[in-house]
C-alpha cells in the first residue's frame, strides 16, 4: 500500500534524536535515530518491513504544540501604546502562534504582554510576557519569556 501525498504523519523527536515510527498499515512501531535530519530534511519517506511506504514529518520542537482557536489581546512592552487583538492558533509550554487581527506592526524581537483565556473547564486566564520570534504577514510566533514548569493550567490544557 502506498499512501497519498496528503497522508503525512507527524512524529516528535525526543531529546536524544530518536523518533518512534508507527506503520499505518501493520501498526508495528520501531525507533530510529534521526538526529542527522535536524536542520535539513524534516519530511522523509519510510519503508516498513511489511513493504508499506509512508511519509513522516519529523518534529524537532522542544514542546508539543496544540492547535487552538482562542481569542486574546496583546500589549506592547518594548513599544508603548502598541496593542491589538489576536487569534491564538497554537499553544505550547514555550510559546504561542497567533494571527494578528488587523494590521500587524510587530517585528522580530518585540516584547509583548499577551492575555487569553483557555477553553478548559476553569476558563483559565493566561497572561504572559513574550518575545516575537517569527513574523509572516499577519502571523506571529512568540516565545514565553516567563515560561515556567509550574504553570499548571497550561500544562493540564496541553495534556487534554
Same domain, 79 and 146: yes
Other CB atoms within 10 A of residue 153 CB: 14
Query: pLDDT tens, position by position, for the chain (160 residues)?
Result: 344 445 888 887 877 788 889 999 999 998 888 877 776 668 889 999 999 999 998 877 666 678 999 999 999 987 778 899 999 999 988 899 999 998 888 999 999 999 999 999 999 999 999 999 999 999 999 999 976 655 788 888 887 6
Whether 27 and 85 map to the same domain: the answer is no
Total number of domains constituting the chain: 2
Say if 3 falls within a structural domain. Answer: no
Read off the CATH number of the domain in which 144 is found.
Answer: 2.40.10.220
Range of the domain at 38: 8-59
- Indicate whether 2 belongs to any domain: no
Residue 152: inside a domain: yes
Same domain, 88 and 147: yes
- Model confidence, pTM: 0.62
Nearest to 96 by CA among 116, 125, 123: 116
pLDDT value of position 148: 62
| Residues 44, 87 within the same domain | no
Q: Is residue 86 part of a domain?
A: yes
In a domain, 23, yes or no: yes
Answer yes or no: do 52 and 114 share one domain.
no
Sequence length of the chain is 160
**148 in a structural domain:** yes
Q: Give a yes or no: residue 93 inside a domain.
A: yes
Q: 143 and 73, same structural domain? A: yes
Please tell me whether residues 55 and 70 are part of one structural domain.
Answer: no
Amino acid at each position: 500500500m502506498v499512501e497519498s501525498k496528503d497522508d503525512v504523519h507527524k512524529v516528535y523527536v525526543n531529546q536524544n534524536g530518536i523518533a518512534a515510527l508507527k506503520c499505518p498499515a501493520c501498526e508495528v512501531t520501531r525507533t530510529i535515530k534521526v538526529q542527522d535530519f535536524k536542520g535539513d530534511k524534516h519530511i522523509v519517506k519510510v519503508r516498513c518491513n511489511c513493504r508499506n511506504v509512508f511519509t513522516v514529518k519529523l518534529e524537532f520542537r522542544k514542546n508539543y504544540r496544540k492547535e487552538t482557536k482562542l481569542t486574546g489581546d496583546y500589549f506592547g512592552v518594548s513599544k508603548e501604546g502598541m496593542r491589538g487583538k489576536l487569534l491564538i492558533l497554537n499553544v505550547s509550554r514555550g510559546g504561542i502562534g497567533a494571527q494578528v487581527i488587523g494590521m500587524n506592526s510587530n517585528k522580530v524581537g518585540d516584547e509583548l504582554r499577551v492575555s487569553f483565556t483557555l477553553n478548559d473547564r476553569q476558563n483559565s486566564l493566561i497572561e504572559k510576557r513574550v518575545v516575537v520570534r517569527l513574523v509572516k504577514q499577519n502571523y506571529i510566533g512568540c516565545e514565553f519569556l516567563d515560561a515556567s514548569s509550574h504553570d499548571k493550567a497550561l500544562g493540564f490544557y496541553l495534556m487534554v
